[in-house]
C-alpha cells in the first residue's frame, strides 16, 4: 500500500519494544520488494508493548507500529484511541486504576488524586479493588488486593468445575494437574474421535456460559462441517461484565484445565490454532496461562503432534486493552485482527465467517471447563445434573452485601435464595442478577430457580452469573446511574441507538436524580430502551437499558413520586 508515515521517530526503547513483538526489521535490497499485507493482527500487541515500556503510546510509537506493520497511521490512531487502557497523552510510569463500579462502590471505593477511576476489574470478591500498572524495562500489572477470601466451597463434595481448585491444586504444575486427574478427558476424547466428542457434547445439552446460552454442540457441529479452512478456536476470556470474576478464578487457579479443554474442542472441530483473548486487567491469568502453554508444549500436549495422536494444535494468548465491548465475539475478532473493537453484523455468524474471516468456534472459559466432564463421563450422564433445559452446574459470582463473597458452584435449579443463604447475604432490598446487562430483582422475586428458562420466563437473565446484593443501606440510585454511565462509556460508537441512546439514557436518569426534570423522562427512557433493544448492532446496546428499566419498573427507583432510593 502507498502509505505515508509522517509521524515522529520512535525512541530507542519504543522501537525495541515494538520490534520484540513484530520481529527485527529486514534489509530491503532496494531492487525487489514483495508486498506482505497480513501482519495487522500484531498491531494491538505492538501498541500494548510500547505502552508497557514507556507508560503511554506516543506519536513515535504510533508511527513506528504503522510502518512496521503496513497499517495506515490514521487506522493505527483509530485503534489506539479506541481502548481505554492505551494512553495517547504522556503519563507517569506508575498509574493506579481504582474500580468505582458496582461491588466496589458498595465497599466504599475512593479514587485518590492522580489515580484513574476504572470500570469493574473483576476482583469483586475483594472489593474495593484497584490495579496498579508499572511501565518500564520490566513492566507489570498488580491486582490489588493481591489476595482475596478463600474459595467459599473449598473442600466440599460435589464440586465439578471447581473440583481441583477446591482441593488445593497447584496451578503452576502440569504434574499436579495430572495428579488431580488432569488429561484423562483428552485421553477419552481421542478414543471417541472428533465426531464422537461432538456427539457427547450435543447429548449433554451444554449451553454456553458467557451469557448467550447457545448450545455448544450445535456450534461445534456447525464449524466441524465447514469446508472453508483453516478453522479457529477462540476462548473468550474478556470477562468485563461488572460483577463477574468466575473466568478469572478458573484461569488463575486451574489453567491447565483450559488448555486441555481447548485441545479437546480443537480436536473435535478441526482447529489447528487457538486463541485465548484475556482482558488486560488479569495479569495473573496471563502469567498462569503462558506458564501452562509452555509446560504443555514441553510435554508434547500442544504442538505439531498433540499427545502423539497425529493432530496439530497450539494456543496463543491475546490480551485486550480495556474495552468491555470486546467481549462481544465479533468485536473480539476485530480486536485480535488489529482493528477497533467494533462488532460486526450477524449474519454471517462466526461459525461460518469468524476470526480472519474463517469458521470459528468461540467458547467462554466456563463452557470449556464443562467440556472436560462431558467427555469424561459422557453427555447423557452429564445431563442428569441440573434441569431439562439447563444441564450441569453453574458458577455464580457473589459480591456486594454478603458475608462470604466469592465464586460458587451450584447445580442448575438451585434457587437464588438458597444461593444467597450460602453466601451469607444480608437482607436485601434488591439483588442484581446477571450483571450490568442483567436486571434488579425485588426481595419477593428471590425464590427464582436459577435456570436459563426460569430466568427468561421471569423477564430476567442469568447473564455471566453475577449476583450482587444490595442491602437496605445501599444507594440504588447511584447504582443505576453507574450502570448507565458504564454503558455510555463502553459503547463502541458505531450505531446510533447505542452511541446516542446511552448518552440520552444517562442524561434522563441524571435529570430524574437531580429533580430538574422535563416531565417526560420515563417515556423517553422507555422509548430509548425499545430502540436500543430492537435496533442496536450488538448485545451491548441491546442490554444497555435492561437494568435501568428493571430498577424503574421493579423497584420504582428514580420514579418521580416512587419509592425512596
Partner 1 sequence: MLGAGGGTSSYEEVREAADLIVLWGSNAREAHPIWFHHALKAVHRGAKLIVVDPRRTTSAQWADLWLGIDVGTDIALANAVGREIIHAGLVNEEFVGRATEGFEAYRESVEPWTLEEAERVTGVPADAIRELAHAYATAERAQLCWTLGITEHHNGVDNVFSLINLALLTGHVGRYGAGLQPLRGQNNVQGGGDMGALPNKLPGFGDVENDADRARFEAVWGVEIPPRNGLHLTGMFEAMEHGDLRALYVIGENPAQSEADQGRTRRLLSGLDHLVVQDIFLTKTAELADVVLPASATGSEVDGTVTSSERRIQLVRKALDPPGEARDDIEIVYELGRRLGYDLGSPKPEDVWNELRSLSAAHRGMSYARLEELGGIQWPCPDETHPGEQFLHGRLWDPVVAKRAPFTPVVDDPPVDVLDGEFPLRLTTGRRLESYNTGVQSGGFSSPLHRNGSALRLAPEDGARYGVADGGRARVVSRRGEVETGVVYDETLRPGLAFMNLHFPDEVETNVLTIDATDPKSGTAEFKATAIRVEALA
Partner 2 sequence: MSAVSVSAPKKVVELTVDGKAVRVTDGATILDACKRAGIETPTLCYGDTLTPVNVCRVCVVELEGSRTLVPSCSRKVEDGMVVSTDSERVRTSRRLVMELLDSSVDLSLAPDAQRYLADYDAKPERFGPDAATVAQEVKVDNDLYVRDYSKCILCYRCVEACGVDHQNTFAIHVAGRGFGAHISTELDVPLPDSACVYCGNCIAVCPTGALMFKSEHDMRADGSWDESRQEVVQTVCSFCGVGCNLELHVQDGDIVTVSSPDDHDVTRGNLCVKGRFGFQYVQSRG
Partnered with residue 133 across adjacent β-strands are: 95, 141
- Rounded Cα distance between 67 and 70, Å, is 5
* Among 12, 24, 26, 31, contact with partner 1 (rule: CB under 8 A): 31
Which cell is 205 given?
445439552
Binding flag, residue 62, partner 2 (CB under 8 A) = yes
* Among 34, 137, 518, 561, contact with partner 1 (rule: CB under 8 A): 34
- Piece in contact with partner 1 (CB under 8 A), picked from 30-38, 121-129, 180-188, 352-360: 30-38
Q: How many CA atoms lie within 13 A of 220 on its CB side?
A: 31
Binding flag, residue 77, partner 2 (CB under 8 A) = yes
- Residue 170 CB neighbours (<10 A): 13
Q: Which does 196 bind (CB under 5 to 8 A by kind): partner 1, partner 2, none?
A: none
Judged by CB under 8 A, the chain residues 434 through 493 that form the site for partner 2 are 488-493
Binding flag, residue 27, partner 1 (CB under 8 A) = no
The nearest distance, CB 57 to partner 2, in angstroms, is 11
* Among 12, 26, 32, 146, contact with partner 1 (rule: CB under 8 A): 32
- Helix axis angle for 255-269 and 246-253, nearest 10°, is 100
- Piece in contact with partner 2 (CB under 8 A), picked from 178-186, 188-196, 303-311, 521-529: 521-529
Nearer to partner 2, 260 or 342 (CB): 342
- DSSP class of residue 308 equals G
The nearest distance, CB 219 to partner 2, in angstroms, is 18
With 0-12 / 13-18 / 19 or more C-beta atoms within 10 angstroms meaning exposed / middle / buried, residue 2 is: exposed
Binding flag, residue 33, partner 1 (CB under 8 A) = yes
- Rounded Cα distance between 353 and 328, Å, is 15
Binding flag, residue 6, partner 1 (CB under 8 A) = no
Q: Which does 33 bind (CB under 5 to 8 A by kind): partner 1, partner 2, none?
A: partner 1
Residues in binding contact with partner 1, number by CB under 8 A: 10
- Rounded Cα distance between 290 and 187, Å, is 23
H/E element, 414: none
Binding flag, residue 40, partner 2 (CB under 8 A) = no
Which cell is 164 given?
481441583
Radius of gyration of the chain (CA): 23
* Among 35, 112, 308, 519, contact with partner 1 (rule: CB under 8 A): 35
- Rounded Cα distance between 198 and 265, Å, is 9
The alpha helices in 214-360, defined as continuous H runs, are: 216-225, 246-253, 255-269, 283-298, 329-337
* 170 φ, ψ (degrees, to nearest 5): -90, 110
Q: Which does 494 bind (CB under 5 to 8 A by kind): partner 1, partner 2, none?
A: partner 2
Q: Quick one: CA dihedral 322, 326, 331, 337, positive or negative? A: positive
Binding flag, residue 26, partner 1 (CB under 8 A) = no
Residues in binding contact with partner 2, number by CB under 8 A: 57
H/E element, 396: strand 393-400
- Helix axis angle for 255-269 and 283-298, nearest 10°, is 60
H/E element, 101: none
The nearest distance, CB 357 to partner 1, in angstroms, is 13
Nearer to partner 1, 35 or 108 (CB): 35
Binding flag, residue 147, partner 1 (CB under 8 A) = no
Judged by CB under 8 A, the chain residues 524 through 563 that form the site for partner 2 are 524, 527-528, 530-531, 533-537, 542
Q: Which residues bind partner 2 (CB under 8 A)?
A: 1-4, 6-7, 59, 62, 66, 72-78, 81-84, 88, 323, 340, 345, 347, 488-497, 499-504, 507-508, 511, 518, 520, 524, 527-528, 530-531, 533-537, 542
Amino acid at each position: 500500500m502507498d502509505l505515508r508515515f509522517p509521524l515522529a521517530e520512535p525512541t530507542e526503547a519504543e522501537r525495541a519494544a515494538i520490534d520484540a513483538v513484530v520481529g527485527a526489521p529486514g534489509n530491503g535490497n532496494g531492487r525487489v520488494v514483495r508486498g506482505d499485507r497480513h501482519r495487522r493482527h500484531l498491531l494491538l500487541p505492538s501498541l500494548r508493548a510500547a505502552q508497557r515500556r514507556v507508560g503511554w503510546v506516543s506519536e513515535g510509537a504510533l508511527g513506528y507500529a504503522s510502518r512496521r506493520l503496513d497499517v495506515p497511521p490514521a487506522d493505527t490512531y483509530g485503534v489506539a484511541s479506541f481502548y481505554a487502557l492505551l494512553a495517547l497523552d504522556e503519563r507517569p510510569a506508575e498509574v493506579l486504576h481504582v474500580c468505582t463500579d458496582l461491588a466496589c462502590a458498595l465497599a466504599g471505593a475512593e479514587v485518590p488524586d492522580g489515580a484513574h477511576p476504572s470500570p469493574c476489574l473483576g476482583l469483586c470478591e475483594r472489593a474495593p479493588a484497584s490495579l496498579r500498572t508499572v511501565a518500564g524495562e520490566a513492566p507489570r500489572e498488580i491486582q490489588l488486593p493481591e489476595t482475596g477470601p478463600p474459595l467459599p466451597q473449598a473442600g466440599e463434595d460435589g464440586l465439578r468445575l471447581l473440583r481441583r481448585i477446591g482441593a488445593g491444586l497447584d496451578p503452576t504444575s502440569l504434574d499436579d494437574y495430572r495428579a488431580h486427574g488432569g488429561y484423562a478427558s483428552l485421553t477419552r476424547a481421542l478414543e471417541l474421535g472428533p465426531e464422537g466428542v461432538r456427539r457427547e457434547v450435543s447429548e449433554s445439552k451444554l449451553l454456553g456460559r458467557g451469557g448467550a446460552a447457545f448450545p455448544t454442540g450445535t456450534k461445534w457441529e456447525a464449524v466441524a462441517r465447514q469446508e472453508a479452512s483453516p478453522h479457529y478456536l477462540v476462548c473468550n476470556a474478556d470477562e468485563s461484565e461488572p460483577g463477574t470474576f468466575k473466568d478469572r478464578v478458573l484461569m488463575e487457579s486451574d489453567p491447565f484445565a483450559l488448555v486441555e479443554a481447548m485441545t479437546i474442542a480443537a480436536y473435535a472441530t478441526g482447529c489447528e490454532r487457538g486463541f485465548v483473548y484475556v482482558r488486560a486487567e488479569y495479569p495473573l491469568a496471563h502469567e498462569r496461562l503462558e506458564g501452562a502453554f509452555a509446560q504443555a508444549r514441553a510435554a508434547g500436549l500442544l504442538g505439531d503432534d498433540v499427545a502423539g495422536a497425529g493432530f496439530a494444535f497450539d494456543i496463543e494468548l491475546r490480551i485486550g486493552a480495556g474495552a468491555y465491548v470486546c467481549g462481544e465475539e465479533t468485536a473480539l475478532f476485530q480486536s485480535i485482527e488489529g482493528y477497533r473493537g467494533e462488532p460486526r453484523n450477524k449474519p454471517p455468524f462466526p461459525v461460518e465467517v469468524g476470526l480472519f474471516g474463517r469458521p470459528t468456534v468461540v467458547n467462554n472459559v466456563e463452557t470449556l471447563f464443562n467440556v472436560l466432564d462431558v467427555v469424561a463421563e459422557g453427555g447423557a450422564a452429564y445431563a442428569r445434573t441440573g434441569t431439562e433445559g439447563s444441564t450441569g452446574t453453574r458458577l455464580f459470582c457473589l459480591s456486594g452485601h454478603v458475608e462470604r463473597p466469592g465464586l460458587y458452584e451450584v447445580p442448575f435449579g438451585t434457587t437464588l435464595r438458597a444461593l444467597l443463604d450460602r453466601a451469607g447475604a444480608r437482607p436485601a432490598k434488591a439483588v442484581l442478577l446477571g450483571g450490568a446487562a442483567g436486571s434488579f430483582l425485588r426481595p419477593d422475586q428471590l425464590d427464582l430457580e436459577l435456570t436459563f428458562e426460569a430466568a427468561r420466563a421471569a423477564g430476567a437473565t442469568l447473564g455471566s452469573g453475577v449476583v450482587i446484593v444490595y442491602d437496605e443501606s445501599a444507594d440504588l440510585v447511584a447504582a443505576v446511574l453507574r450502570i448507565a454511565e458504564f454503558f455510555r462509556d463502553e459503547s463502541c460508537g458505531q450505531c446510533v441507538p447505542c452511541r446516542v441512546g446511552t448518552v440520552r439514557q444517562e442524561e434522563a436518569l441524571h435529570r430524574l436524580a437531580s429533580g430538574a426534570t422535563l416531565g417526560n423522562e420515563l417515556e423517553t427512557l422507555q422509548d430509548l430502551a425499545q430502540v436500543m433493544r430492537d435496533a442496536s448492532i450488538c448485545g451491548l446496546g441491546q442490554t444497555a437499558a435492561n437494568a435501568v428499566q428493571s430498577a424503574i419498573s421493579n423497584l420504582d427507583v428514580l420514579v418521580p413520586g416512587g419509592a425512596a432510593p
